[in-house]
Amino acid sequence: MDNGKDIKRLSRLTAILTQLQTKRLITASELAEKFLVTKRTIYRDIKALEMAGVPILVEEGKGYSLMEGYRVSPIMFTESEANALITAEQLILKNKDSSFVKEYSEAINKIKSVLRNNTKDKANLLSDRVVFRINSDNDSTSNYLSTIQLAMTNFKLIKIKYRSSSENKQFTERTIEPFAIYSTQENWLLIAYCRLRKDFRAFRLDRILDLLTMNEQFEPHDITLQQYFESCKKKSYS
């Protein structure tokens, strides 16, 4: 018996289980690429997890998933993983959307609660020793990011009052289909299909004066985010 190989495989089985918990569906090809093994090895690993009592479902042509409601005990973070999360927290705290800061801070507190005591002490020490000083005034300019994220993942229409520029005091009312969000210089932009303009538009969150999530849903867009950016490039060159 090769103890080195056994330990490596055990580590991979644990990591595969984590991936199954993270994604609703994942294919053997994705797992093989992630762990740098063959698909045949992944098939054997999945079989081993099934024999250990893990309820893995197979959807033909789609991939693997865990049975709804199945959970394993909380995952233990390594010290390096905890450090990465704590460092990210310091970046988030400088963000100008207050809803995002609040939700992330609460999530980090839950993550800290499952850390080993020794790692927890080190994580708290790191929190006190990592600072980013980009946003000197640290003023929040929006409070809509969390609401927009929920609308985007649930395909809900949003109604907004929007000011096109900081100098312009007038606003327009738009009904939009949220598509994607991205950050630039600590502020957030929302890419959405605007029903008023009948095209995709980018909206700065700090210029949204009011926002309402509607009960009405919209059809998911076929376009990918990469395709959107490519179409923007073509428009700028034309």
The verdict on residue 118 lying in a domain is yes
Q: What is the mean pLDDT of residues 118-146?
A: 66
62-68: Cβ within 8 A, 24+ apart: 62/25, 62/27, 63/25, 63/26, 63/27, 63/28, 63/30, 64/20, 64/25, 64/26, 64/27, 64/28, 64/31, 65/20, 65/23, 65/24, 65/25, 65/26, 66/20, 66/21
Range of the domain at 94: 79-129
pLDDT at position 214, please? 95
Number of domains in the chain: 3
Same domain, 104 and 29: no
Give a yes or no: residue 154 inside a domain: yes
- Does residue 223 have a pLDDT over 90? no
Residues 161 and 233 in one domain: yes
Q: Give the range with max mean pLDDT: 10-19, 98-107, 223-232.
A: 223-232
Give me the pLDDT at residue 1, please.
46
pLDDT score, position 118 = 74
Domain annotation covers residue 72:
no
Using alpha carbons, list the distances in angstroms from residue 235 to 45, 164, 228, 232: 48, 20, 11, 5
Residue 33 predicted with pLDDT over 80: yes
pLDDT at 178: 92
Are 190 and 117 within one domain? no
- CATH number, domain at 47? 1.10.10.10
d(CA 48, CA 32): 16
73, part of any domain? no
Would you state the pLDDT for residue 208? 92
Listed residues 66, 87, 109: the one ending a domain: 66
Looking at the structure, tell me whether residues 88 and 54 fall in a common domain: no
Query: Which of 11-20, 54-63, 108-117, 188-197 comes out lowest in average pLDDT?
Result: 108-117
Q: What is the pLDDT of residues 70-127, one digit of tens each?
A: 776 656 667 777 777 777 777 777 777 888 888 888 877 777 766 777 776 776 766 6
167 vs 52, residue with greater confidence: 52
Stated pTM of the model: 0.57
Q: What is the pLDDT of residues 150-176, one digit of tens each?
A: 899 899 999 999 988 767 778 899 999
More confidently predicted of 149 and 61: 149
Residue 58 shares a structural domain with residue 100 = no
168 three-state secondary structure: coil
Residue 221 corresponds to which amino acid? H
Q: Is the pLDDT of residue 193 over 90?
A: yes
pLDDT of residue 121: 75
Do 124 and 58 fall into the same domain?
Answer: no
The answer to whether residue 221 is domain-embedded is: yes
Domain identity same for 172 and 110: no
Q: What angle do CA 185, 190, 196 make, to 5 degrees?
A: 140
Q: Tokens at residue 226, please? A: 């990469």
12 falls within a domain:
yes
Residues 122 and 187 in one domain: no
Question: Of 66, 88, 117, which marks where a domain is finished?
Answer: 66
Q: Are residues 207 and 164 located together in one domain of the fold?
A: yes
Q: Check the CA dihedral 6-9-11-13 and report its sign.
A: negative
Which region, left, alpha or beta, applies to residue 60 given φ > 0 means left and ψ of -120 to 50 means alpha? beta
Mean pLDDT value across residues 55-63: 87
Same domain for 173 and 233, yes or no, is yes
Report the CATH number that the domain containing residue 153 is assigned in CATH. 2.30.30
Length of the chain: 238
